[in-house]
């Protein structure tokens, strides 16, 4: 997913206002207004870097006179202790933007790192399977979190409720069955939009196959059942696996032959990557 820079700048303005309020009283009280310096951003653990362009926008929105220089590219795998960027200019401005820039860098790099780890695990048993995210994102951060998944080598599922039909268990109950739900969806949407149906058993799978959606999601099935489901679909639809996916199970799930594995934890419970900013001289 590409970033909408206009939306990003609007969000950053709001986030800066939330943090700075009517002024960074500590920096203003302790640091001379004409003081200049260099903020050195570096990693305190190994990982995949994502969000450098976001950090650039943070400092540019705060103080256009600041100069932000990337030392590595987005998506780079780095070790602990690597300088990833420097920001030069007003010391007060650097310190006022430090927390927001780090919060976003750490969050996005954590997501990219976790995604990369899942992709590498899945590749041990399947060369074609895609690791994708879900809508289980932090409110207000969906664009950035889905961007970070792509930086980490993953792919995006639907962005929201508006860009694909996903018929889940409650939709099936409300519609009176898979067949009725798919039929109603197809009558209501454009021919360019895809329909996905969630199934929980091989019995539901057979009904879904007959209804001819574009994608079938296998929800919380064991590997043996998933492999049988893939055999029955026989390439007629995209097959997605969801539920019960972790770093210990992803390779086995990929080996069943599914096309896509969706993982909510990529965005809803990932750990931030430890990144720090030191002024003028990096701590050793």
* Parallel, antiparallel or unpaired: strands 238-242 and 260-262: parallel
Name the catalytic one among 13, 80, 168, 212: 168
Q: Which two tokens stand for residue 39?
A: 């903020």
Q: Which of 145, 219, 240, 259 is catalytic?
A: 219
283 is catalytic: no
Q: Is 168 in the active site?
A: yes
Q: Which of 13, 23, 92 is nearest to 57 (CA)?
A: 13
219 is catalytic: yes
Q: Specify whether 198 is catalytic.
A: yes
Marked catalytic residue, from 70, 71, 136, 194: 136
63 catalytic? Reply is no
Extract the tokens encoding 194. Answer: 């895809």
State the catalytic residue, choosing from 74, 198, 240, 259: 198
99, 123, 194, 282: the active-site residue: 99
Question: Known catalytic residues?
Answer: 99, 136, 168, 198, 219
């Amino acid at each position: 997913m590409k970033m909408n820079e206009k939306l990003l700048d609007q969000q950053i303005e709001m986030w800066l206002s939330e943090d700075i309020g009517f002024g960074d009283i500590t920096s203003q009280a302790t640091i001379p207004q004409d003081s200049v310096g260099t903020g050195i951003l570096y990693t305190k653990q190994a990982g995949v870097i994502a969000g450098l362009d976001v950090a650039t926008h943070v400092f540019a929105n705060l103080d256009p006179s600041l100069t932000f220089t990337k030392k590595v590219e987005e998506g780079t795998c780095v070790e602990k202790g690597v300088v990833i960027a420097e920001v030069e200019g007003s010391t007060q401005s650097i310190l006022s933007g430090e927390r927001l820039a780090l919060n976003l860098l750490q969050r996005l790099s954590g997501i990219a790192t976790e995604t990369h780890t899942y992709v590498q695990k899945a590749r041990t048993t399947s060369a074609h399977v895609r690791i994708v995210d879900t809508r289980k994102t932090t409110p207000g951060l969906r664009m950035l979190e889905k961007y970070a998944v792509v930086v980490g080598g993953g792919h995006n599922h639907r962005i929201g409720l508006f860009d694909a039909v996903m018929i889940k268990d409650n939709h099936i109950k409300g519609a009176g069955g898979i067949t009725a739900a798919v039929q109603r969806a197809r009558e209501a949407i454009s021919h360019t939009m895809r329909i996905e149906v969630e199934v929980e058993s091989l019995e539901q799978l057979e009904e879904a196959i007959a209804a001819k959606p574009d994608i079938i999601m296998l929800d919380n099935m064991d590997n043996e059942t998933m492999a049988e489901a893939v055999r029955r679909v026989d390439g007629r639809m995209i097959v997605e696996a969801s539920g019960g996916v972790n770093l210990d199970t992803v390779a086995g799930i990929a080996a069943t032959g599914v096309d896509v594995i969706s993982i909510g934890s990529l965005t809803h419970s990932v750990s931030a990557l430890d990144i720090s900013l030191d002024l003028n001289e990096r701590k050793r």
